[in-house]
Structures are given as C-alpha cells and as structure tokens.
Amino acid sequence: MIYVSAKLDYLDTVMGEFRNVAWRVDDGEAVYQQWENRKKGGAILYDEPAIEFARKIQDANTRIVVRSNDNTEQFGVRGSTKAVDKVLENCRR
C-alpha cells in the first residue's frame, strides 16, 4: 500500500471525512479526486490513486500543482524520480 499525504504550514481543517483535491503535472490537464482528511490536518490518498499520482510525479518535468479548497501549492519535482522509483519498487508496482 502506498500513501500520498499533504500537510501545509497553515491551519488546514476541512469538515467531513473527505475533501476535493485537484492536481496537475506541469501544465497538463487537472485530475479531480476526493482525498481522505487526516485527523491532525492535511489529506491522504492511498491504493491505486496514490500509485497513479506517484507515476505522474515520475513523468513530471518541473512541478506538481495541488489545490485543496481555496489553497493552491506548487511542488518542484527535481530529484524526485529516484525517491518515487524506490517507493514504487517497494510496493512492487
């Protein structure tokens, strides 16, 4: 099982079990999903959707953009391929 989790440096509270998240690689098409809220803030994605997310990080050239509610964050992907490869290898994916 693979987990993808995001927690930012601001008060990140969303009521309910899930939140709507949109993400995209570089300038590609947005992917819309529901991620499970974590009790201590942030959100989590797991199983096949998390593997898809990890594979898209591998394919990225410069960045992943993630929007949760009214907050949008950009994450550079430089140097991430080896780390993602290791995670997927451990998951045998």
Give the whole-angstrom CA distance, residue 40 versus residue 81: 28
Give the whole-angstrom CA distance, residue 87 versus residue 85: 6
pTM of the model: 0.77
| CA distances (Å), origin 31, targets 4, 16, 37, 83 | 15, 21, 18, 22
Q: Contact at 8 Å (CB) between 75 and 62?
A: no
Give the whole-angstrom CA distance, residue 49 versus residue 63: 18
Residue 12, pLDDT score: 55
Looking up tokens 């993400």, which residue turns up? 23
Residue 8, pLDDT score: 53
Span 1-46, pLDDT tens digits: 444 555 555 445 566 788 899 999 999 999 999 999 887 777 888 8
